[in-house]
Amino acid sequence: MTDKIISAKNVELKFGKGSEEVVALKNISLEVGAGEFVSFIGPSGCGKTTFLRTVAALENPTSGQILVNGVSPDEARTNRAYGYVFQSAGLYPWRNISKNVSLPLEIMNYSREEISKRVSRSLNLVELNGFEKKFPWQLSGGMQQRASIARALSFDADLLLMDEPFGALDEIVRDHLNEQLLDLWQKTGKTICFVTHSIPEAVFLSTKIVVMSPRPGRIVDVIESPFPTSRSLEIRDSKEFISISQRVREGLRSGYDHNENKG
């Protein structure tokens, strides 16, 4: 119907009551269109993960409205509209890689043939074919995270929510996975929301960068990226890349300043 995959209006979310009340999200308004790659960047406590969890219906906003695919997040969850990738791979140690990828498919009652077809296709996308029978502890951290991405891809949701998926990995592995993710995004045409701590990662990957700030968690800047969807690691040395990085950094700093003035 609409090509707006996510649309949030004045979303506010509070945890706790009285003096222990924490405003995790305040006045968040944002639209994410189909096929976009949106990064959420900001320091800890800025609400970027909370916002992602709200989109996934793992948290409920205190006020304001949020729509995913034009319906409420909970309805979207029921429709299995999104795949979620957590910071840790979260693979089940008693299932081998192919069984881990097939977990959502089993829950969604796919047929056996369909499951095996989808598992091999998803593993193909993250270049993990050949590791079907391995157990998680036999894989490196980067491979585990790729397996968890394959798991999120397996049921073909159009929206991929990724919460610092590469946060625990070293820089070299991270670069490689970023390229792979970009490749995967172009191949599948999915909409991706990506939470990160890293400025280069955000600038390199995104079509839109959402800069957030803590206490209360809010959006301080939204930057549209001028880079084409098809890009390589070299763009990181370009002028535009550096200037966007600067703008992100300024956004982050203004959040902090604001905070200090307050007190």
Partner 1 sequence: MTTMRIRAKKFLKKIAGKILPILTILFLLTVVWYFFTIYLNSAMQIDRYDKQGISWNTSKLVLDTMSQERPKLPAPHQIAEEIWETTVQKKITSKRSLIYHSSITLSSTIVGFILGTLLGVVLAVSIVENRAMESSLMPWIIASQTIPILAIAPMIIVVLNSLGFSGLLPKALISTYLSFFPIVVGMVKGLRSPDIILVDLMKTYNSTKVDIFFKLRLPASVPFLFTSMKVAIAISLVGAIVGELPTGAVAGLGARLLTGSYYGQTIQIWSALIMASILAATLVFSIQAIGYLVSKKMGYTNEEA
Tell me the site size for partner 1, rule CB under 8 A: 26
State in angstroms the smallest separation of the CB of 186 from partner 1: 24
State in angstroms the smallest separation of the CB of 106 from partner 1: 7
How far are the Cα atoms of 86, 144, 151, 158 from residue 83, in angstroms, in the given order?
10, 16, 8, 8
Question: Which is nearer to partner 1, 31 or 75 (by Cβ)?
Answer: 75
* Window 151-180: residues binding partner 1 (CB under 8 A): 155
State in angstroms the smallest separation of the CB of 68 from partner 1: 12
| Side-chain half-sphere exposure of 153, counting CA atoms within 13 A | 27
Rg (CA), the chain: 19
Question: Which is nearer to partner 1, 126 or 152 (by Cβ)?
Answer: 152
* Window 38-77: residues binding partner 1 (CB under 8 A): 56, 58, 77
d(CA 241, CA 234): 10
State in angstroms the smallest separation of the CB of 117 from partner 1: 19
Q: Site for partner 1 (CB under 8 A): which residue of 138, 229, 238, 246? A: 138
Three-state DSSP state, 61? coil
d(CA 162, CA 190): 12
How far are the Cα atoms of 77, 155, 172 from residue 57, in angstroms, in the given order?
7, 18, 33
Contact region for partner 1 (CB under 8 A) — 6-14, 36-44, 80-88, 166-174? 80-88
Backbone angles phi, psi at 18, to 5 degrees: 60, -135
- Exposed e or buried b for every residue in 186-224, given b needs 16+ CB within 10 A? eeeebbbbbbbebbbbbbbbbbbbbbbbbbbbbbbbebe
Q: Is 256 in the site for partner 1 (CB under 8 A)?
A: no
d(CA 184, CA 38): 15
Question: Which is nearer to partner 1, 135 or 227 (by Cβ)?
Answer: 135
Residue type, 115: I
State in angstroms the smallest separation of the CB of 197 from partner 1: 18
State in angstroms the smallest separation of the CB of 71 from partner 1: 13
Q: Site for partner 1 (CB under 8 A): which residue of 15, 65, 80, 156? A: 80
* Window 83-122: residues binding partner 1 (CB under 8 A): 83-84, 86-88, 90, 92-96, 103-104, 106-108
Contact region for partner 1 (CB under 8 A) — 13-21, 33-41, 134-142, 196-204? 134-142
The residues with which 211 forms a beta bridge, in sequence order, are: 41, 221
Q: Site for partner 1 (CB under 8 A): which residue of 2, 10, 63, 78? A: 78
Structure tokens at 176: 């490689």
Chain residues that interact with partner 1, rule: CB under 8 A: 56, 58, 77-78, 80, 82-84, 86-88, 90, 92-96, 103-104, 106-108, 135, 137-138, 155
